[in-house]
Chains A and B, each alone.
Chain A
Amino acid sequence: MNLKANNITFSYSKKRQILKDVSLSINNNEIIGLIGDSGSGKSTLCKILSGYITNYTGEVTMDNKAIPDKDFYPVQLIYQHPEKTMNPKWKMEKVLNESWTPTQELKDTFGLKDTWLTRWPNELSGGELQRFSILRALNPKTKFIIADEISTMLDAVTQVQIWEALIKHCKANNIGILAVSHDEELLEVICDDILHFDEINNL
């Protein structure tokens, strides 16, 4: 399976174009890194790939077919700040099970403790919340994960734990990953190949 972006062009305002003719391709058995300067449009590209922004020109395809937006969207985005992506009035159990019910084995892989489930989001740390936001994105219908700086705010020990668990699950289930980060050393360790954003953005 293959996720492709073909000649994506996008701008928020008429004044400044953010993306011009961006193309990339990810297979579901690989982890591709994407590195670039702050404010260059990496996160915008992530939102386009995962279906949050739709008014772009160009196309995003999976196996050369357009992705239907009616059903579960097979490209899932994980954000840098998990606390901003959760309903503060939902307990963690509800947050986790919104999309699907992860198996106990998977919860263990991600080091998710049962005592966390009865907590509110503001009672957990960023590292703990990020484990939830990754796990809930791993619905069996998910084919690609877009990881937008998912470990930037975490300490180094937690960073390893989260990536190890995510990579293990994705390799076993043929899920492709686009890993966006500023940290070139991290990408060199986890990725099969690294793309430089300024080289694929034809501005």
Chain B
Amino acid sequence: MTKLLEVNNLSISFTQYVQGLNRHDSKVISDLTIDIDESEIVAVLGSSGSGKSLLAHSILGILPYNSNVTGEIKYKGEVLNQGLKEKLRGKEICLIPQSVNFLDPLMKVSEQAIGECKDDKEHDEKKIRQREIFNRYGLDESVDDLYPFELSGGMARKVLLSTALIGNPSLLIADEPTPGLDKKSVEETIEDIKNLKEHNKGILLITHEIDVALKTADRIAIFYSGYVIEINTAENFKNTDNILHPYSKALIDSLPRNGFKLTEGVQPLDEVSGCPYYENCPIRLDKCENNIPKLINHDGIMIRCFKYEEANDES
């Protein structure tokens, strides 16, 4: 069966100039594999600044010119090249950006939601749809003529969401939809995202907040130092016995309600030759220092760790 979105072995690096003409390649995402089905929410969980937004940007084809991308992205079984990305984005694939700063401050919100139109006829059709969607999110007609600065944070978020939905996309990418929001707004956002799933949409949720991922997603991918180290069901994440990677366990144990347990160690700054978690790993093997484990399937859980690779080999 073809998945809605498949990302296979995606790597993204940037070429930067350091000191004069010396060029330096810095790798941000390494060997990322993930898939999303219809009516499914997959969360990518990683610390902020770790480069997870670049995954969204590469699916939409909006990476900057100095980026190098290898690997393959497929949408409904078809390879996504730049041409197809440009054709699909804003229609089949839409982004819910993270901040209100993505709204045009000089444009009425209804017109931004409608977007570019060929002629008046198209505009009128889209206007009806825009009204419909605004209504669904409780934005009445008085909101249509407002400018972004006149909106509250919650309203602005709803406008961003409505804008993404106008083209009736099949795949939505939500990039950090919650940080800095209070509890009530977070709950609302979670409900909105879950509601999209009921409408058969596939959703890629990019976040660093575990709670949001746990409450919304069907599956969660843990992102560490540019690598996806584990993809497991949200259900399994509720109990550390059911998650495999030592970092994933540490992450769950460090939540305030789970005891606020301290785990030493920081993510490596530079590219390492072995497993990215080698330095901090309590179960490391000798070969972990200089070999990078692959993302493998262990009892239906995707895991990047030699321990489970060996366990697979034995059985």
Contacts and interface: CB of A to CB of B under 8 A. Distances in A.
B266 A113 contact: yes
Interface residues of A, number: 37
B47 A155 contact: yes
A182 B50 contact: no
Contacts of B50: 125
A124 B182 contact: no
A38 B266 contact: no
B262 A161 contact: yes
Interface stretch (B75-83, B249-257, B289-297): B249-257
B269 interface: yes
A168 B12 CA distance: 40
A127 B47 contact: yes
B179 A128 contact: no
Contact of A153 (B185, B208, B254): B208
Nearest to B210: A156
Contacts of A161: 262-264
A106 B293 CA distance: 35
A126 B49 contact: yes
Given A149-B180, A182-B180, 15 more contacts: A111-B264, A125-B47, A128-B269, A153-B179, A154-B48, A155-B47, A156-B210, A157-B250, A158-B47, A158-B266, A160-B261, A163-B260, A164-B262, A184-B183, A189-B256
5 contacts: A119-B269, A127-B267, A149-B180, A156-B252, A161-B262
Interface of A: 36-39, 80, 111, 113, 115-116, 119, 123-128, 149, 152-161, 163-164, 182-186, 188-190
Interface of B: 46-50, 152-153, 179-186, 208, 210, 247, 250-252, 254-257, 260-267, 269
10 tightest Cβ-Cβ pairs between the two chains A and B: A155-B47, A185-B256, A37-B182, A156-B254, A189-B256, A160-B254, A153-B48, A125-B49, A126-B49, A186-B256
